């Protein structure tokens, strides 16, 4: 690629470690501008409105859809809605910032058609077995839910070829550095 992309979309299968990677990047690479999504999911303990997400009601979400304010939005895991506001990305890009969107696959597909200049990164597990053990290791889902998520993961893994590049999440530091370089930033500037 001749020019560094201003917007980078990070997606990948369930439990591959996307949110751990984005937290790591938030902590170590303040030069990255995170797109803060809107969601109808209630905040978890420790989450801050406006930082982790904009926590809004289903009615507010409906209004934003009606006003065509979303670059993309999706219902994730069949439950809550999540969306990227067009204005968030536009403002950051206009200010010359490198923006990272951590979103699900359905959202990534919408961004592809609406923001053709964006760069698409697929975060992959080192192997399918690794994904299975990560999901088991979390211990947060029962057997039936685990099977359902693994089925979803199989479908999601097949989407890899739609992406510009794959980063293997074998080591969090290494994967973060690779992502930062792919964004056209210098991974040596680590605070
Ligand atoms: P969580 O509720 O655990 O924070 O996120 C659940 C899922 O929603 C993750 O897969 C995350 O990538 C996805 N997600 C977060 N924000 C957005 C968004 O703005 N749009 C879409 N399509 N997915 C999102």
How far does the centroid of ligand 1 lie from the alpha carbon of residue 13, in Å? Answer: 12
Q: State the greatest distance between any 2 C-alpha atoms of the chain, in Å, as a whole number.
A: 47
Q: How far apart are CA 49 and CA 74, in angstroms?
A: 20
Ligand 1 within 6 A of CB of 82: yes
107 C-beta closer than 6 A to ligand 1: yes
Rounded to whole angstroms, what are the CA distances from 150 to 60, 78, 92, 167, 190? 32, 15, 35, 20, 35
Residue 190 resides in a domain: no
20-30: pLDDT as tens digits: 999 999 999 99
Does residue 87 form part of some domain? yes
47 in a domain, yes or no?
A: yes
Ligand 1, atom 20: closest residue by C-alpha = 83
Instruction: Classify residue 117: in a domain, yes or no.
Output: yes
84-100 tens-digit pLDDT: 999 999 999 899 999 99
The CATH number of whichever domain residue 37 belongs to comes to: 3.40.50.300
**Number of domains within the chain:** 1
CA–CA distance, 61 with 44 (Å, rounded to integer): 19
Answer yes or no: is 143 within a domain. Answer: yes
> Would the pLDDT of 2 be above 70?
no
> Does the residue 121 lie in any domain?
yes
84 CB within 6 A, ligand 1: yes
Q: Would 26 be classed as within a structural domain?
A: yes
């Amino acid at each position: 690629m001749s020019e560094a992309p201003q917007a980078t979309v990070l997606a990948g299968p369930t439990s591959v470690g996307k949110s751990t990677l984005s937290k790591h990047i938030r902590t170590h690479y303040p030069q990255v501008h995170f797109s803060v999504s809107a969601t109808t999911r209630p905040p978890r303990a420790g989450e801050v409105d406006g930082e982790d997400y904009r926590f809004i009601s289903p009615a507010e979400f409906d209004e934003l859809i009606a006003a065509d304010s979303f670059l993309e939005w999706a219902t994730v895991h069949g439950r809550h809605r999540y969306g990227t506001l067009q204005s968030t990305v536009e403002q950051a890009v206009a200010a010359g910032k490198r923006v990272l969107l951590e979103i699900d696959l359905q959202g990534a597909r919408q961004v592809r058609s609406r923001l053709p200049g964006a760069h698409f990164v697929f975060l992959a597990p080192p192997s399918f077995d690794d994904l299975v053990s990560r999901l088991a290791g979390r211990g947060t889902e029962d057997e039936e839910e685990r099977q359902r998520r693994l089925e979803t993961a199989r479908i999601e893994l097949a989407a890899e070829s739609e992406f510009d590049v794959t980063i293997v999440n074998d080591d969090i530091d290494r994967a973060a550095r690779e992502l930062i370089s792919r964004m056209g930033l210098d991974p040596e500037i680590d605070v």
